[in-house]
Each structure stands twice: as C-alpha cells, then as structure tokens.
Amino acid sequence: MQEASLQGVLKVIFIIILIYYGLKIITRLFGPLLLKYVTKKAKEKFKQQFDQYQQPQQSTEGEVTIENKTKQNSSNKDVGEYIDFEEID
C-alpha cells in the first residue's frame, strides 16, 4: 500500500491554489470582453428578428391599405343555461 508523503500533498494543494487564482485573474481580464461579445451577438440577433418581422408591414409612400379584422363572438351557445342564484338567510 502506498502512502502519500507530506511533500506530495503540499504540492497538490499548491497546484490547486495556483489554478484557482489563475482562473480568477483570467476571468477578471476576459470576463468583460466575453460579456460584450455575447451581448453584441444577442443584439444583432434580436435586431435581425425585429427587421424580419417589420419588413412585410412596410409600404411605399402614398399607398393606402385597409385591414379589416373580423370580431368573433366569444360566447358559445352550446355551453348551457345561465342560472341566477339568490342567497337565503
């Protein structure tokens, strides 16, 4: 059976601490750049979707369009009979 030496354990702990602080420093340096890149890409995607939605609705100058929206009756006659209840004291 092998036993861990004190020097080996300290070496592993030292490497873990170096990796932790190294990642912490790299994140502080490149985090804002990464965040700017992600927000820029999201902005471009939303703008593209917005322009795609708005494009068919644009009309040329002087053109008149009338859109009639039919209003559907929301009540359904097949639902049943309405009964008005009164409270009795």
Q: What is residue 12's predicted lDDT score, i.e. its pLDDT?
A: 94
Is 38 domain-assigned?
yes
Distance CA 53, CA 57 (A): 8
Q: What is the mean pLDDT of the chain?
A: 84
pLDDT attached to residue 63 = 81
Q: Is residue 83 part of a domain?
A: no
Residue 43: domain span: 6-56
Residue 16 inside a domain? The answer is yes
Residue 68 in domain: no
Domain total for the chain? Answer: 1
pLDDT of residue 18: 98
The pTM for the full model equals 0.42
DSSP character string of 26-65: HHHHHHHHHHHHHHHHHHHHHHHHHHHHHGGG---TT---
pLDDT for 88 beyond 90: no
Q: What is the pLDDT of residue 39?
A: 97
pLDDT of residue 43: 96
User: For 4-41, what is each residue's pLDDT tens digit?
Assistant: 789 999 999 999 999 999 999 999 999 999 999 999 99
Contact 51, 58 (CB under 8 A): no
